[in-house]
Structures are given as structure tokens and as C-alpha cells.
Amino acid sequence: MRTDRRLASFTYGGEEVALIPDEMAREGAGRWVRTMPDGLRAVLELSEPEPGGGTALLRFENASDRPSLPIARVRTLDVTVPVSGAVRFETLDGDSCGEKSFLPITAALSDGDAVVSEPTGGRSSDTSAFPYCTGSCGGRGAVIGIGWTGQWRREIAAADGGLRIAVGLAEADFFLLPGEAVRGPSAVWYAGEGEPAALRRRFRRMCLARFSPLAEDPAAKPPLAIQCFDRYFRKHPRWATVEGQLEVARAAAACGGFDTLWLDAAWFKDGFPCGVGNYTFEKGFAGGLKPLADDLHANGRRFVLWFEPERVYRGSEVWNEHPGMLLRRSDDPDDALFDLSDETARSWLFGTLKAILTENGVDWYRQDFNMEALPFWREHDAPGRRGITEMKYVAGMYELWDRLRAEVPGLKIDNCSSGGRRLDFETCRRSMPLWRSDTGCFPVTEERRVHTWSQNQILGLSEYLPFHSCAVWEPDPYLVRGAMAGGLACAFDILSPEFDTARAGRVIDEVNRTAPFWKKDFFPLTVQTTSEDVWAAWQVGDAAAGAACFFRRGGSAEAEKTFALCGLDPERTYAVTLTDEDLNAETAERTGRELGEGIGIRIPRPEASVLAEYRAL
């Protein structure tokens, strides 16, 4: 991707330092070192996972016996590429639990134009920014992802026939003590020829193969889970008991198709949110969760359990018993941040979590985080050490996750943060976001057009992320098809005597049938928009098999539209099955050429859908 020699940069004692690998000492595979006269070491870790792809990570080590000079403007990626015209810049909004979550942002950058982005509050995809973007010009371009679960900064500026791309810490002005070491953000990219959508497909393929849980476990996939926390918590008398959860598990088994039971924040003393910071079981789970896990495992199902270890609520066990492990704010009497920057605190938390996970048969560790960390980090930076708390905290979180994955056999991690507010490269290479937005906490209403928002989230996120999923409240094809993306959390009223088990089983069977295709290519067939008078559509799969979903939104007057399917072999014949909103299916044979020229989709009524499944004969 780079055409100038500089790859990264920082300032040291007020002077800019350009990191040029060709001028740095090589130290083992993929490590280049620049040693400053006073002993500070800037270590640049690089990899080229495949042609066109790359990663970078910047570390600092003080190898001297005295404090370093001030380090500032840390840029893990700082490159300038030549361009021959206006650059098309594309990214998404961050998650704000509403209609704007992950909507597209585009800009045309000519000389003098710049786009500067930062997330909100220290969470990497919160509200004001998204840690992935695409830049393209003249048939070439690059997709860039940021790996920093904190307050990053991205600067894209066009000037003098070049485009400067800088990715790093939003705020950094610190010195290192003797022997001290820190790491900064990482960056990942794919660059080459092609239109932006094609570049994003190649980027996504690279992340699937190299930087995702699938790279370590080819069988990995988001679960198809029954998850009724928002529907039943504090509403169902037996919800917070082993017996109540077994009742849910039996009801789910009657539907068929579910592979996971998902228990959210009802298992610990005092529940949510006042019990955050308690690791003692609620009285309904006094004997632990192993009887529940054993029942699930005996029936071939998995177990997701919710935690929020970083937030500690006033009066909880951790608040009272481990005050030295907390970061507090002077103006927040109710919440504290568990100090992941501290090795002693981190070790205690690891031991606590590992014991609960292993003793209770947990398959998926669900880590949520419902607060902004940035104000806590800044308040605890020592004078002259701006950014140091954040750097050590974020690195500590990665260490915690890596230890859990290494020492709890088979463990998978769900990355949640008030929904999808931590969807950066470093979290997504270690975990799957099973709750891409807290829009999944609500059923569809006139005020909350959750079905439309979910369609937009799939259209936007799926071009960048290997995996993601969310929740749906009713077993209706329009809702389920518009939320499924390889997995799904189902907040069905499954304990109601009137619940239609048979229909739910038929709908969730579609999730299982189409799940393997999400490991292939994603093709957006329409653009993201909040308008209700349009259709939405996408396709997943490859030349051998795949699926496409088509949605006629509530305000659309068009009963029929034609869509060209992508990535098919024009010379092959395909069996194509179309299943309508009433779950009636028809199968016909079409050539790849015919499907590539256009397939007519008829949806007679608004707020209805068609699922197309195809396979080569």
C-alpha cells in the first residue's frame, strides 16, 4: 500500500521521528527497531499475510536507566500514497443504538480536504466513528482497519497529489520510566486494484482466513441461541433459577434448530445493573450453573454466559473487597472501572473468571461493557503521562482475553459493549460480536424501526467484519431474515402457551441452512437507507452455493423488482429455491448467466420478504 518510505511516526522530545523499515535494525521475523540516542526503542512489528495485505503494530520500550523524553503523536500507520484525482472515502457511523448505527459516510477528497475521525468515550466504534474505512481513486484503493479498543484517531488528508493516511492514538504525550514498555494501536489493510466493494470483499476474505476465530477453529460460527433476557428478566417468576433456564432450554428444543442457550445478567447476586461487580450466584442459582450446562451439553447444545467485569457498581463485592483494584472518578459516586492496567488486579480477575467458566461448563464468555472508559483513563494519568493509563489498560484487556482463550479449552468470546461499540480489529480477531447493537434489546414499534435498522446494519458491517449477529423478537420471516448473519439471538416469547413452535422451527431452520454461506463472500445488492419506501437486499456465498435475502419495506409500492446475483459461474446451471413470507417454496433451474443478468423477485405485500437459496448442479 505504501509508496513513500515512511510507514509510521511519532514525536520524541518535540521532534518528529519517521519510522522507515529500510533504515531500521531488523530484530527477528517481522520486527524492525529504531533506537534513540538515549536508549528508547521504537519497535515496529509488520506482517504481510497475503499479497496486498498487511498489518502494523508500534511498541515503545525504555531500555535506559532514566526516564525517556516525551513521546507524542503516536501514529502506527503514517503513509502518503500518490493519487491522480479526487479520492472517494467511505466508512460507517459508529453504533448509537438507533437508526444511524453503522450507516454509510462518504466524502470526495481533493487537494486541501481532510477527514478526521475519533470514536466517543474510549470505545472503538462508539457513535462518532467506525474503525474501518475504504479509500479509492482511479480504479485502485485500500481498506484499512484499526486495532485499538480505546480512543484512536484517523486522519485522511489530500494535498499535493498525495493522500496521507495516519492512524494512531487520539491523545498521547507521555514519557516511559526506566524498563517500562507500552504498545499502541495496530492497523490492518488490503490494497490493490478494483472497485471499493471488490476491495472490501478481499479484505473480508483475508480477515476470515487470517484474523478471526475461524482462522483458529474452522468450525467456529456465531450461535443460534435462545436469549430472552430483555423479554423475561424481572417479569418471569422462574427466570433467575436453574429450573427456569431448563424450562427455556426444553421449550427451545421443541422448536429444533437452536444450538445454544444464552443466559444474560440474571445469574449473580442483585442482578443487573446493581449487582455488577458481584461474582456470587443469585439464590436461584445457589448451586452454580453446572447442572444447566450439563443438560445443554448432553443434548448437543452450548452455553453463553454474560459478564461485565470492567464496570463495578457501588456496594458490590468487588467494590467493597478490592477497592485497590478500581479506578474511580471524582464526579461518579456509583461506578468504578476495574483496573485492567494493573497486573495484580488483572491476575485476580483472570483467576475469578477462569474458575467460573470452567466450573460451570461455559462455552461462550460474553463480555459486555456499558460505560465510557475514557474519562477514567484521563483522570488517572500522572502528570506528563497523558495516554499511559489507556495504553496499559487496553493491552491488559488483550492479555486477559488471550489468557482465557489459551487456558479455558474451547472457549469462545462474545464482544459486546452497549451493543457494537468495540468492533475494532483487535477485538474482532479474538472474538465474535454476537450483539452488534443494543437495537436488539427492543421489539419493533412505530418509533423503533428495529427491522429496518437491522437490515442496514447487515448491509454495512458485513462488508468489513467476518462475523456478527444480533437479536430478533418474533419468529417472523421478515424479521428473522433481516437479522440473521450466520447466527442469531432469539428473544421469542417461547414460554407462552400460544407460542407457535412449529412455525418458529421452520424459520430458524433457514438460519441454520444459510449460516455456512456467511463464511463466503458478501454482496450488498442495495444501499443502506432509513427510507421505508424501498427494497433492501444482499447475497452471501460463492460460485458453488449461496443465499440472497430480499425485503420489501413497509412503505414500498413496488411488488416486483429484478436483482442481478453476483459471483456465479455463467456456464453452470443452478437450482434456485425461492421461499416467500408464508414459507411457501418453489424451485427452478437457471444458468449462472441468467442469474447474473437478473432474477425477478415478487413480494405481493409490504413488510414481507423472499429468501433465495441456490446451488450449482
pLDDT (tens digit per residue) in 496-546? 999 999 999 999 999 999 999 999 999 999 999 999 999 999 999 999 999
Report d(CA 433, CA 470) in Å as an integer: 8
Report d(CA 579, CA 53) in Å as an integer: 39
Report d(CA 71, CA 13) in Å as an integer: 7
pLDDT at 4 over 70: no
Residue 218 banded pLDDT, cuts 50, 70, 90:
confident
Residue 160 banded pLDDT, cuts 50, 70, 90:
confident
Contact indicator for 4, 12 with CB cutoff of 8 Å: no
Closest CA to 76 of 188, 194, 173: 188
Torsion angle of alpha carbons 21, 22, 25, 31, nearest 10°?
A: 40
CB contact set of 310 (below 8 Å; sequence gap of 6+): 337, 338, 340, 367, 369, 371, 373, 397
pLDDT at 412 over 70: yes
pTM recorded for the entire structure = 0.96
C-alpha distances (whole Å) from 4 to each of 58, 80, 274, 580 are 18, 6, 53, 54
Task: Please write the tens of the pLDDT for every residue from 162-202.
Answer: 999 999 999 999 999 999 999 999 999 999 999 999 999 99
Closest CA to 179 of 69, 32, 13, 67: 67
Task: Please write the tens of the pLDDT for every residue from 258-289.
Answer: 999 999 999 999 999 999 999 999 999 999 99
| Average pLDDT score over residue span 197-220 | 93
Give me the pLDDT at residue 215, please. Answer: 83
Residue 1 banded pLDDT, cuts 50, 70, 90:
low
CB-neighbour burial class of residue 536 (10 A; exposed 0-12, middle 13-18, buried 19+): buried
- 156-160, 347-351, 452-456: the lowest-pLDDT one: 156-160
Phi then psi for residue 249, to 5 deg, are -60, -40
Peptide bond between residue 433 and the one before it cis (omega within 30 degrees of 0): no
Q: DSSP letters of 10-77?
A: EEETTEEEEE-GGGSEE-STTEEEEE-TTSEEEEEEEE-SSTTEEEEEEEEEE-SSSPPPPEEEEEEE
- Reduced to 3 states (helix: H, G, I; strand: E, B; else coil), residue 612 is strand
Contact indicator for 380, 334 with CB cutoff of 8 Å: no
Cell readout for 553 is 419495506
| Average pLDDT score over residue span 143-148 | 98
Report d(CA 142, CA 542) in Å as an integer: 23
- Reduced to 3 states (helix: H, G, I; strand: E, B; else coil), residue 407 is helix
pLDDT at 3 over 60: no
